Structure 1
């Protein structure tokens, strides 16, 4: 390893050790069909993947607020399936401005939502498209089958995936989730829970929870010691609770 790469690693370490509870690849998943999720975004620092995200307009990426984590400058990569393949037509765009929800609390992870305004509009094509978000507030019915995707770790403390992985999950009843996480950690009005054979892991934070053709949640936190824990379900920021704030920044909601 060169001195430069060692220095880079050393500079990354303080940033990459933020709480596991907050940074919930996909475990027990499958490789997604390349570019079948053209809204997926890799949020990066110095060309290292740190979080997922998704395109909600041609100028804005939605992700989790905890993904900012004091990084001085983030970039986003659009149109990727395999992050390491230089032959792919990856599009890297710098972030022009960061719009963290004003009520974000780094301790409780309440309002864990961040909009990234890109330096320029994304050029949409077959591999780069935005995804719709809810148009009105409301809960997704418990038991609904939805999906999650990302480039995160493939198992607890395992290696990250180079390809987009995906898995199906089920929406959990709010009361059941609250009983597992307690009212202190889980807010039914602002969050939602999912569970299943597979789920998110470190590096998937900020990625979308997709129900039908709509992104309804943003991956926020899970069990600090075990990805896809049967005891502590994964928690997602509920997008529909924030529509007024989102519209104030990006205009109309897709």
Structure 2
């Protein structure tokens, strides 16, 4: 039986919508909403992650903490058969820029207690196949010590190439938004999965500024240190948002960096 013109369009629309959902990033928060463009290359620690799994491609943020190591969110890479390429020194991620360094990720370490349920311990350390060239456009950002906390009420910045509106418009250039560290109770009231030791409750009370899809894994920068990692939000609400608390994981991060260094030593037990 021949399809009517209207039915044909309805089927085509359904097919397009189905494919669109397949191509969406897998989890987490991530759009810079109501943010502003940053001065090109003024956030030289930022990393853009291209994550490929079969024919699917998704994107996340990350940040350089050593010439060979990038921190990001575990939920960005928690599927099997994933390949990751990091771009450093980028401003407009859609263009070739002389400042850009594209480096494959050799391997990564997801925190052993990471859980997709509630996105607990949402942190991953990625080992680059080769060291990044440190220059004015590509630099590392320090992380806090284990006992160093960021206070409630602190104003921090988050950068990313993620969605710039609820409608899903993605930014080609690096955007940034200022967000405030909130009382833990605000997030605890929203979810029993909130863990104050390992998570930060962050957001704009007016619900106008936020992160979203594509920004996951990016840093929450307070006083020139990366104190948090963009992790997840609650449904379609822009406020509050949950960030991984980096200071809680500092001993684990240092241990993984030590192992990364051992792997670079020929003949070491960890090499190969």
Alignment TM-score > 0.5, same fold: yes
- Residue 234 of structure 1 is aligned with which of 224, 241, 246? 241
> What does 1:48-197 align with in structure 2 at a 5 Å threshold?
50-70=59-79, 71-179=81-189, 181-182=190-191, 184-196=192-204, 197=208
Q: Aligned in 2, Cα 1:104/1:12: closer, same or farther, shift over 3 Å?
A: farther
Asked if the contact 2:158–2:177 (Cα under 8 Å) also holds between the matched residues in 1, the reply is yes
- Stretches of structure 2 that go unaligned for 5 or more consecutive residues are 1-17, 260-272
Measured in 2, the distance between the counterparts of 1:11 and 1:117 equals 32
Asked if the contact 2:25–2:58 (Cα under 8 Å) also holds between the matched residues in 1, the reply is no
Measured in 1, the distance between the counterparts of 2:251 and 2:20 equals 35
The structure with the larger Rg is 2
Measured in 1, the distance between the counterparts of 2:39 and 2:213 equals 22
Asked if the contact 2:23–2:57 (Cα under 8 Å) also holds between the matched residues in 1, the reply is no
Measured in 2, the distance between the counterparts of 1:51 and 1:17 equals 9
Greater alpha carbon shift after TM alignment, 163-172 vs 40-49: 40-49
Q: Aligned in 2, Cα 1:25/1:17: closer, same or farther, shift over 3 Å?
A: closer
- Stretches of structure 1 that go unaligned for 5 or more consecutive residues are 1-9
Q: Aligned in 2, Cα 1:17/1:152: closer, same or farther, shift over 3 Å?
A: closer
Measured in 2, the distance between the counterparts of 1:96 and 1:17 equals 22
Measured in 2, the distance between the counterparts of 1:17 and 1:28 equals 21
The answer as to 2:213 corresponding to 1:202 is yes
Asked if the contact 2:218–2:230 (Cα under 8 Å) also holds between the matched residues in 1, the reply is yes
Measured in 1, the distance between the counterparts of 2:128 and 2:246 equals 20
Measured in 2, the distance between the counterparts of 1:89 and 1:54 equals 16
Measured in 2, the distance between the counterparts of 1:48 and 1:124 equals 28
- Residue 16 of structure 1 is aligned with which of 5, 11, 24? 24
User: 1:100-157 CA deviation, whole Å, 9 max, x = no partner?
Assistant: 0000001221000000000011110110001000023343111111111100000113
Q: Aligned in 2, Cα 1:12/1:92: closer, same or farther, shift over 3 Å?
A: farther
TM-score by length of 1: 0.86
Measured in 1, the distance between the counterparts of 2:180 and 2:51 equals 32
TM-score by length of 2: 0.81
- Counterpart in 1 of 2:12? none
Greater alpha carbon shift after TM alignment, 107-116 vs 64-73: 64-73
CA drift at 1:86: 1.2
Measured in 2, the distance between the counterparts of 1:89 and 1:44 equals 17
Asked if the contact 1:25–1:165 (Cα under 8 Å) also holds between the matched residues in 2, the reply is no
Q: What stretches of structure 1 move > 3 A for 4+ residues in a row?
A: 10-17, 46-49
- What value does the CA root-mean-square deviation take over the aligned residues? 2.1
CA drift at 1:87: 3.6
